[in-house]
């Protein structure tokens, strides 16, 4: 089985999912102020703070990952998702899956953080971040905590086929996720940004590799991985996930929206 992944843009998006597309944009100081220390901008004022956090697109520093859109100062890669906090038993299952999958694709790497995406990775200008977050908070305020089951192993590629992923697809809880996506999409539309995929395959990514190696992971490998999941002790309980909050990451800024 194969599907398109939520668009992970790459050199940063794993630290766009894990750490950070960094915004920049430095205003030239006046001659009088050039000899004085610059005062920090308030966090909620429009502009491009933290100009020292410029990005250099060097794929060799990120395992060969290539960005799916170019970095520009003042553009902040933004992603809405459900964070998955793992238990020790999940890491044991992950170790078994990656070990088996590496017999087919040795370059496979385990994810370091885990989540379920509710949006594509989109680009916000800095002064849009606070209005965007306020819109999300208002739209998501009425949602309650809920459970999903993610127990179907599946192979994904990103849109430009530069990376391949192994993930656990959601088999129960799809309706609630669609309701969340619908509200997130409405906020994205207000900013004229791309909405989520029409028929999404909700999943938690487990491991990745550079390039389109889906043919080597599907078929026999995929069946072996599914057997490991099915036979893992207490997997039915382990892969039943309660979602308690939604996160939005914009550049190096994180925002949290607790579910009721």
Q: Write out the catalytic residue numbers.
A: 115, 203
CA distance 138 to 109: 37
Residue among 243, 113, 255 nearest 180 (CA): 243
Per DSSP bridges, beta strands 109-110 and 203-210 are antiparallel
Please answer whether residues 29 and 38 qualify as being in contact, where contact means their C-beta atoms are separated by less than 8 angstroms.
yes
Contacts for 229 with CB less than 8 Å, ≥ 6 apart: 93, 97, 151, 153, 168, 235, 239
Please answer whether residues 22 and 54 qualify as being in contact, where contact means their C-beta atoms are separated by less than 8 angstroms.
yes
Provide long-range contacts, Cβ within 8 A and 24+ apart, for 53-56: 53/22, 53/23, 53/24, 53/252, 54/22, 54/24, 55/12, 55/21, 55/22, 55/24
Tokens 């901008």 locate to 41
């Amino acid at each position: 089985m194969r599907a398109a992944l939520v668009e992970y843009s790459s050199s940063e998006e794993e630290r766009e999912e894990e750490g950070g597309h960094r915004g920049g944009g430095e205003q030239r100081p006046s001659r009088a102020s050039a000899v004085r220390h610059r005062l920090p901008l308030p966090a909620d004022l429009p502009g491009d703070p933290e100009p020292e956090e410029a990005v250099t697109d060097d794929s060799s520093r990120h395992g060969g990952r290539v960005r799916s859109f170019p970095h520009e100062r003042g553009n902040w890669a933004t992603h809405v998702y459900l964070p998955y906090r793992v238990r020790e038993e999940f890491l044991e299952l992950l170790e078994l899956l990656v070990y088996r999958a590496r017999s087919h694709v040795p370059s496979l790497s385990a994810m370091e953080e885990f989540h379920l995406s509710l949006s594509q990775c989109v680009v916000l200008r800095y002064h849009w971040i606070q209005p965007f977050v306020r819109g999300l908070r208002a739209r998501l305020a009425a949602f309650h905590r809920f459970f999903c089951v993610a127990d179907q192993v599946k192979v994904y590629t990103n849109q430009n086929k530069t990376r391949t992923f192994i993930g656990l697809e959601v088999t129960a809880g799809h309706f609630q996720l669609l309701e969340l996506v619908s509200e997130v999409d409405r906020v994205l539309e207000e900013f004229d940004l791309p909405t989520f995929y029409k028929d999404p395959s909700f999943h938690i990514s487990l491991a990745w590799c550079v390039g389109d190696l889906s043919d080597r992971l599907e078929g026999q490998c995929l069946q072996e991985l599914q057997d490991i999941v099915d036979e893992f002790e207490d997997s039915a309980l382990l892969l039943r996930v309660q979602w308690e909050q939604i996160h939005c990451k914009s550049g190096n800024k994180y925002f949290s929206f607790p579910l009721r």
